[in-house]
Structure 1
Amino acid sequence: MLVPPWLSVPPPGYGGLEQVVHGLVDSLVARGHAVTLFGAGRHHGTAADFVSTIADLQYERLGEALPELAHLSRTNHLINAADFDVVHDHTTIGPLVARRRAVPTVATVHGNPVGEYGAVLSDADHGVGLVAISHAQRRLNPGLPWAGTVHNAMDVRDVPRKQVASRGPVLWLARFSPDKGPDVAIRACRAAGLPLVLAGKCNEPAERRYFTDVVEPMLDEDVTVVFNADRPATLRLLLDARCLIMPLQWDEPFGMVILEAMATGTPVVALRRGSVPELVLDGVTGLVRDHAEELPAALREAVRLDPADCVARVDENFSIERMTSGYEDVYRRFALGTPVSAREPVPIAAR
């Protein structure tokens, strides 16, 4: 299991990829697989064997190419067919250098497979099987060598769950970026007459510039800002929120925060972009709308949704066990050297 060198597994706060890998690794080990996790830093919290390619996490250099390339180069020298049956790569550049490995590679695509990232993926070795994390993501570039679609999942064992709907503030939880629409969230909540908490990741230069230039001038007493919340703080915010707002301005490939919200019993009010319709059951676990002008009414309406339905949505459709079984199927076919079917898996059932 190969992760980028930026964050630990599990992450202390922000890090959807690392959260997913944590749950997957521990589930694979529990099923009897021998798993080695290749990452960075001195510590990890998984049941896997851990191999670090560099002593310090490279978070301060997030977005640079060289730290990930160096990490991949060191890892490739340690991977051989005598010790491993399959490599599961979660890095961005990994599919380009996978051809140097003597072991077949499955690579999960965590971003949108278009533009520059799409160019990287289209040049991947044909022996690499790409795994989509949503059908919406896969449809953006159907010509890539997809091995299948496996939805992300969430370990809910330690997640507190609300029993009744909350009438607390609306919560926006994301990185400060125009893609995530915090400005849209502010306008929607003001129109609805509801208080808003903006809990955002804001430590990269582009995030800080966007907050200073766009978000900060819009703030008033009806908006509370929380920067870089850790995991316990995030859960407290979700439990207190009447709903999570996701006024997306891009095609979200998955959105782990949607699972986090529903797992606590918090409904999601979102625009119909990317994977949202696959995750949120409209009218049951949230309200999905086509236009920003429809969000204020949906925010007021969200309190009528049953928290138990939100929790059940995650338990029944986005469990770690379900995700692990999906990846096991892909691993086995790769390890045996048999072709990977391009057939879409059975869609998630609506309840």
Structure 2
Amino acid sequence: MVVPPWYPVPPSGYGGLEQVVAGLVDGLVDRGHRVTLFGAGPGHGTDATYVPTVGELQHERLGEALPELAHLARVRRWLDPARFDVVHDHTTIGPLLADRRAVPTVATVHGNPVGEYGDVLSHVSPSVGLVAISHTQRRLNPRLPWAGTVHNAVETALFPRKQVPGTGPVLWLARFSPDKGPEVAVAACRAAGLPLVLAGKCNEPGERRHYTEVVEPLLGPDVRVVFDADRETCLRLLVDARCLIMPIQWDEPFGMVMVEAMATGTPVVALNRGAVPELLRPGVTGLTCDRPEDLPGALREADRLRPEDCVAHVAEHFSAAGMARGYEAVYRRSLTRPHATLVEPVPVR
């Protein structure tokens, strides 16, 4: 299992990819597989054997190419085909380099497979099995060599749960990015007469710029801002929230925060874009709106949805055990795909 070198697994704060991988690793170990996790930094919190390629996490260099390239080069040297059956790559660049590995690769596509990212993926070797995280994502670029679709998932036992509908503020939990629509959340909650918590990642230049130029001028006493919350804070905000608002302005390929909200019993109010229709059961676990103008009414109605229905939906459709079974099937199919070895590995000690 190869993750990017930016954040720990599981993450202490931001890091949806890392949260997914943590659940997947432990789910595979529970099913009897031996898993080695290649990451960065001094430690991890999974049941895998952990191999760091560098002693320090590289999140301060997020956005640079060299940290990930160096990380992948070290991983490739250590992939002894006598020790590993399949590599599961979660990095951006890894799939493009995978045909040089001594072991077959399955690669999860965590972003939208269009634009520049789509160009990279279109040059991936046919021997590399690309896995979509939603049917919506797969339809955006159907010509890629998809090997399957496996929804992201969570370990539901790790989530606190509310017993009655939340009476706290509406929660927006995302990056301070135009794609995530924090300014739309402010307008919708204000129109609904409901308080709002904006809990956002805001440590990259684009995020800080969007917050300062677009979001901050809209703030008032009805909006509380929480920057770069840790994992414990995020879970507490989810449990306390009346609902989660997802006013996305792009075709979100998944939306992990929606699953996490439902796992705590908190319903979701979202604009009907991207993978939202795949994740929610309208009228049961959330409410979807076709226009931003419809969000205020939906926010006022969210408290009629039952927490137990949200939790049951996640347990049935987005459990870590189910995700592990889905990937296990993809791994087995990958062993039958043609694979050419171009490099000699260095055995791991």
Give the TM-score, by structure 2 length: 0.96
Which residue pairs with 2:95 in the alignment?
95
Q: Which amino acid aligns with 2:264?
A: T
Per the TM alignment, residue 296 of structure 1 is displaced from its structure 2 partner at its CA by 0.3
Which residue pairs with 1:266 in the alignment?
266
Per the TM alignment, residue 125 of structure 1 is displaced from its structure 2 partner at its CA by 1.1
C-alpha distance in 2 between matches for 1:42 and 1:240: 33
C-alpha distance in 2 between matches for 1:100 and 1:266: 45
Alignment of 1:198-213 (within 5 A): 198-213=198-213
Q: Which amino acid aligns with 1:315?
A: A
C-alpha distance in 1 between matches for 2:338 and 2:270: 40
C-alpha distance in 1 between matches for 2:335 and 2:143: 23
Per the TM alignment, residue 87 of structure 1 is displaced from its structure 2 partner at its CA by 0.3
Which residue pairs with 2:190 in the alignment?
190
Q: Which amino acid aligns with 2:317?
A: N
Q: Which amino acid aligns with 2:154?
A: M
Alignment of 1:162-181 (within 5 A): 162-181=162-181
Which residue pairs with 2:151 in the alignment?
151
Which residue pairs with 1:237 in the alignment?
237
C-alpha distance in 2 between matches for 1:43 and 1:258: 28
Contact 1:189 1:299 in 2 (8 A): yes
Q: Which amino acid aligns with 1:168?
A: G
C-alpha distance in 2 between matches for 1:301 and 1:30: 40
Please state if 1:8 is matched with 2:8: yes
- Greater relative contact order structure (CA < 8 Å, 6+ sep): 2
SS in 2 for 1:147: strand
Per the TM alignment, residue 338 of structure 1 is displaced from its structure 2 partner at its CA by 7.5
Contact 1:80 1:101 in 2 (8 A): no
SS in 2 for 1:287: strand
Per the TM alignment, residue 313 of structure 1 is displaced from its structure 2 partner at its CA by 0.6
Contact 1:122 1:144 in 2 (8 A): yes
C-alpha distance in 2 between matches for 1:22 and 1:170: 28
SS in 1 for 2:157: coil
Per the TM alignment, residue 140 of structure 1 is displaced from its structure 2 partner at its CA by 0.4
Which residue pairs with 1:69 in the alignment?
69
Which residue pairs with 1:326 in the alignment?
326
Runs (5+) with no aligned partner, structure 2 = 340-349
Runs (5+) with no aligned partner, structure 1 = 340-351
Per the TM alignment, residue 66 of structure 1 is displaced from its structure 2 partner at its CA by 0.9
Which residue pairs with 1:109 in the alignment?
109
Per the TM alignment, residue 209 of structure 1 is displaced from its structure 2 partner at its CA by 1.1
C-alpha distance in 2 between matches for 1:154 and 1:79: 28
C-alpha distance in 1 between matches for 2:146 and 2:304: 40
Q: Which amino acid aligns with 2:111?
A: G
Per the TM alignment, residue 80 of structure 1 is displaced from its structure 2 partner at its CA by 2.2
Contact 2:127 2:338 in 1 (8 A): no
Q: Which amino acid aligns with 1:214?
A: V
Which residue pairs with 2:39 in the alignment?
39
Q: Which amino acid aligns with 2:300?
A: R
Q: Which amino acid aligns with 1:327?
A: Y
SS in 2 for 1:157: helix
Which residue pairs with 2:51 in the alignment?
51
Which residue pairs with 2:342 in the alignment?
none
C-alpha distance in 1 between matches for 2:276 and 2:265: 17
Which residue pairs with 1:257 in the alignment?
257
C-alpha distance in 2 between matches for 1:170 and 1:181: 14
Per the TM alignment, residue 311 of structure 1 is displaced from its structure 2 partner at its CA by 0.5
Which residue pairs with 1:126 in the alignment?
126
Per the TM alignment, residue 18 of structure 1 is displaced from its structure 2 partner at its CA by 0.3
Q: Which amino acid aligns with 1:74?
A: R
Cα deviations by residue, 1:257-280 (Å, 9 ceiling, x for unpaired): 001100111000000110000001
C-alpha distance in 2 between matches for 1:121 and 1:223: 40
Which residue pairs with 2:347 in the alignment?
none
Which residue pairs with 1:18 in the alignment?
18
Cα deviations by residue, 1:177-201 (Å, 9 ceiling, x for unpaired): 0000000000001110110000001
Q: Which amino acid aligns with 1:189?
A: C
Which residue pairs with 2:345 in the alignment?
none
Higher mean C-alpha deviation, range 292-301 or range 231-240: 231-240
C-alpha distance in 2 between matches for 1:195 and 1:24: 36
